[in-house]
Amino acid sequence: MPMPHAIRETFDGNDNIGAGGEPQQQAQANHPPLTTQQGIVVADNQNSLADAKHGATLLEDFILREKITHFDHERIPERVVHARGSAAHGYFVLTDSLSGFTTAKVLTETGRRIPVFARFSTVAGGAGSVDTPRDVRGFAVKLYTEEGNWDLVGNNIPVFFIQDAMKFPDLVHALKMEPDRAFPQAAPAHDTFWDLISLMPESMHMVMWIMSDRTLPRSLRMMEGFGIHSFRLVNAEGRSTYVKFHWRPALGVQSTVWDEALKLQAADNDYHRRDLFEAIEAGAFPAWDLCVQLFTEEQAQTLPFDHLDPTKIIPEELIALRRIGQMVLDRWPDNFFAETEQVAFCPANVPPGIDFTNDPLLQGRLFSYLDTQLLRLGGPNFAQLPINAPQCPFANNQRDGHMQTQRPHGRVAYEPSSLQADSPRACRATGFRHFAQAAPTGTKGRLRPESFADHYSQARMFYRSQDTVEQSHLASALVFELSKVETAHVRMAMVSHLLVIDEDLGKRVAQGLGISPLPRPAEPAMPVLNLDPSPATTLIGRMKHTLEGRCVAILADDGSNAHAIAKLRGALQAEKAMVRIVAPKIAGARLDDGSLLAAHGHLAGSPSAQFDAVAAVLTPESAERLCMDADAQAWFRDAFVHLKAIAACEATQALMAKAGITFDEGVFSIDDTDAFLEGAKTRFWSREPSVRSLA
């Protein structure tokens, strides 16, 4: 009797597919022959070569050996930091020329599409770790300009932990899993991290940012990106202007709440990667504005801090952002390994007209990235990989090495030469010219400028700029993190720093940790300034009031009202929300008009943490049944405690009551579509004190 499926195994040799005929897909496709790496066509890709049935496998089987050897070598070392990442192709278009400031065509020639590849990453976790831990996100963009590759290798936070690259290995060793026990994975909440931080006051400003909701982005599409360091733009006359680069997401900034981020780790390890993939596949291409802060040496001298110190921002309120172009990501990579994994960024990759400053962190980075790629990608020819190769003509006299894929011709691999007319030559007119910076005078040594000594003023500015909800989140995050620290004196040391940043913050955290009496405040090297607040550093007030980019779930079951669902779905989609149907069974729901509504996810596997707002259209019978279901209760309860808008029909009220939901301004009747749509564009922060106690 034939098997019910199209594919049936056979056990007699060459062909493992057949069911009284090839499956249709097989028949229509035009498959190229499978070959070895040497181009030999393979006849049987299922069975090893043996000397008889039940016999020994023969060493002669070159096909088996090649296949397994290649497999054994498939992994390359993962990045020592930023190992977990997701990336996409796209383009950058300049809209406002900086021609007076730089010769770089990418920043002067408007209207051209420059191909880009952008990779977003977490820092601490391994390549197979989760997407939503509390962590800084890498924001690296490779622009394939016609004057060579420009890599803007930044983060979603505008400052860094340390002032000097010398400390980077210590920072990373302290941050990553502890070397004896190999945990925690992908999380800063442990002793070694906070031990180092508590002994390194220069990191206090960064600590404020990482304890804020910035490190819990709702989506990679809703994060800002920052080049962090001051770079230089250099114009045709050789004049330099300082520049800081900022990426601003078109969808606005948005973060999750901590409990939601934790639940997302359980619900979907790949939450951010999937979100980016699905958006691009759906044609909802994420976009970011490229903005610059431009300033002169004279302006820099008037700032109350040193802009060459990467633990400092220049508040937008002091030097405004100028929007100069937009990046759009519109194509998912064909192959994760070939592109996302093998892409090699390096802050030293800049086209003529962009140059570096003496920021000591930047200077160290200029060395580190090329060095790490040599190990990670196995030799000096990694720039020839398609994802890394420039998309402009390139030629030099570098030769040989592992995995050389080019076939340079001729006798000449040196310069100057007189033997070969087409050998490459340095070109003064268009070549990279380093900015002729006057060397500062002084004495050689392991030195740090006095102007780098203020570690607390901007930390205070950041904390005091946040609104009260954000301050509570930040204080609660510190309590959570430090509660995971087993060593009491490390907790104490951190509180003594916090008391300097802001006394109230220090007291809140001390109370949350049960520390009494308070430790003595740390002793800053210089007086802490009360800088003007910078509202641009906040998140909540700057969330964009839109459904675009957001995802709303509708819970339906057999018998649900087809009209109500269609009406709500249509209204949401008209405002560009992504709508996901959730049902108790993945086959979907048979609605009251007899139609089958296909489900995107089943209830137990689609927690509400994955959605920005939820709605339910149920029958009384279904609601009663779901009252006994813990997943259904959690679905509503979590949406409520994650401060999301909820719309429900009359029948669902009993289930909501069972889930402990009390009616407030964020809970709507399913009939009040307009109000729900407005609610789904935001979060109900006023609900928070009723659902969790914050520090």
Active site residues: 82, 155
**Does the protein bind ligand HDD through residue 117 (CB under 6 A)?**
no
Among 132, 149, 155, 212, binds ligand HDD (CB under 6 A): 155
| Minimum distance from residue 163 beta carbon to ligand HDD (Å) | 10
Q: How many CA atoms lie within 13 A of 660 on its CB side?
A: 11
The H-assigned helical ranges of 228-286 are: 258-267, 271-281
Beta-sheet pairing, 645-648 with 613-617: parallel
**Does the protein bind ligand HDD through residue 81 (CB under 6 A)?**
yes
Binding track over 241-280 against ligand HDD, x by CB under 6 A: ----------------------------------------
**Does the protein bind ligand HDD through residue 584 (CB under 6 A)?**
no
468: Cβ contacts below 8 Å, ≥ 6 apart: none
| Stretch of 149-157, 203-211, 260-268, 493-501 lying at the interface with ligand HDD (CB under 6 A) | 149-157
Chain centre to alpha carbon of residue 31: 37
Q: Which secondary structure element, helix H or strand E, spans residue 674, and what is its range?
A: helix 673-679
Among 121, 156, 230, 560, binds ligand HDD (CB under 6 A): 121
| Stretch of 74-82, 209-217, 621-629, 677-685 lying at the interface with ligand HDD (CB under 6 A) | 74-82
Burial of 663 from C-beta contacts in 10 A (0-12 / 13-18 / 19+):
exposed
Alpha carbon distance 208, 459 (integer Å): 6
**Does the protein bind ligand HDD through residue 153 (CB under 6 A)?**
yes
CB 529 within 8 A of CB 304: yes
Among 63, 82, 221, 476, binds ligand HDD (CB under 6 A): 82
| Minimum distance from residue 223 beta carbon to ligand HDD (Å) | 12
Alpha carbon distance 303, 629 (integer Å): 59
For ligand HDD, which is the closer residue by CB, 372 or 511?
372
Q: How many CA atoms lie within 13 A of 561 on its CB side?
A: 17
Cis upstream peptide for 440 (omega within 30°): no
β-bridge mates for residue 154, sequence order: 139
Alpha carbon distance 235, 2 (integer Å): 76
Q: Which secondary structure element, helix H or strand E, spans residue 86, and what is its range?
A: strand 85-94
> Restricting to residues 162-201, which ones interact with ligand HDD according to CB under 6 A?
165, 168
Q: Which secondary structure element, helix H or strand E, spans residue 297, and what is its range?
A: helix 297-302
**Does the protein bind ligand HDD through residue 119 (CB under 6 A)?**
yes
Among 235, 368, 384, 451, binds ligand HDD (CB under 6 A): 368
Q: 506, 501, 496, 508: which is closest to 531 by C-alpha?
A: 501
**Hey, what are 266's tokens?**
């359980």
**Does the protein bind ligand HDD through residue 149 (CB under 6 A)?**
no
**Does the protein bind ligand HDD through residue 217 (CB under 6 A)?**
no
By beta carbon distance, the residue nearest ligand HDD is: 138
For ligand HDD, which is the closer residue by CB, 123 or 582?
123
Amino acid at 406: Q
CB 656 within 8 A of CB 614: no
Alpha carbon distance 483, 461 (integer Å): 25
Q: 278, 226, 221, 279: which is closest to 254 by C-alpha?
A: 221
Complete edge-to-edge strand list for the sheet that includes strand 551-556: 601-602, 578-583, 551-556, 613-617, 645-648, 667-669
Phi-psi region for residue 171, left (φ > 0), alpha (ψ -120 to 50) or beta?
alpha
> Restricting to residues 466-505, which ones interact with ligand HDD according to CB under 6 A?
none
Alpha carbon distance 546, 681 (integer Å): 5
**Does the protein bind ligand HDD through residue 89 (CB under 6 A)?**
no
β-bridge mates for residue 231, sequence order: 243
**Hey, what are 89's tokens?**
């192709």
Alpha carbon distance 607, 631 (integer Å): 8
| Stretch of 216-224, 325-333, 362-370, 396-404 lying at the interface with ligand HDD (CB under 6 A) | 362-370
| Stretch of 279-287, 357-365, 413-421, 458-466 lying at the interface with ligand HDD (CB under 6 A) | 357-365
For ligand HDD, which is the closer residue by CB, 82 or 508?
82
74: Cβ contacts below 8 Å, ≥ 6 apart: none
| Minimum distance from residue 215 beta carbon to ligand HDD (Å) | 14
| Stretch of 148-156, 321-329, 423-431, 490-498 lying at the interface with ligand HDD (CB under 6 A) | 148-156
| Stretch of 77-85, 176-184, 560-568, 590-598 lying at the interface with ligand HDD (CB under 6 A) | 77-85
**Hey, what are 220's tokens?**
């990679």
**Does the protein bind ligand HDD through residue 363 (CB under 6 A)?**
no
Binding track over 282-311 against ligand HDD, x by CB under 6 A: ----------------------------x-
**Hey, what are 562's tokens?**
């087809």
| Stretch of 299-307, 359-367, 577-585, 678-686 lying at the interface with ligand HDD (CB under 6 A) | 359-367
- DSSP three-state, residue 87: strand
**Does the protein bind ligand HDD through residue 80 (CB under 6 A)?**
yes
For ligand HDD, which is the closer residue by CB, 172 or 654?
172
| Stretch of 153-161, 448-456, 476-484, 646-654 lying at the interface with ligand HDD (CB under 6 A) | 153-161
Amino acid at 284: A
**Does the protein bind ligand HDD through residue 519 (CB under 6 A)?**
no
For ligand HDD, which is the closer residue by CB, 336 or 369?
369
For ligand HDD, which is the closer residue by CB, 85 or 666?
85
Residues that bind ligand HDD (rule: CB under 6 A) add up to a total of 26
| Minimum distance from residue 247 beta carbon to ligand HDD (Å) | 12
Among 91, 92, 160, 635, binds ligand HDD (CB under 6 A): 160
For ligand HDD, which is the closer residue by CB, 188 or 310?
310
Beta-sheet pairing, 578-583 with 601-602: parallel
Percent helix, strand and coil across the chain, each to the nearest 5: 35, 15, 50
**Does the protein bind ligand HDD through residue 361 (CB under 6 A)?**
yes
> Restricting to residues 602-661, which ones interact with ligand HDD according to CB under 6 A?
none
| Minimum distance from residue 592 beta carbon to ligand HDD (Å) | 50
Among 48, 372, 511, 546, binds ligand HDD (CB under 6 A): 372
Q: For binding to ligand HDD (CB under 6 A), which residues are involved?
A: 79-82, 85, 119, 121, 138, 140, 153-155, 160, 165, 168, 228, 310, 343, 345, 361, 364-365, 368-369, 372-373
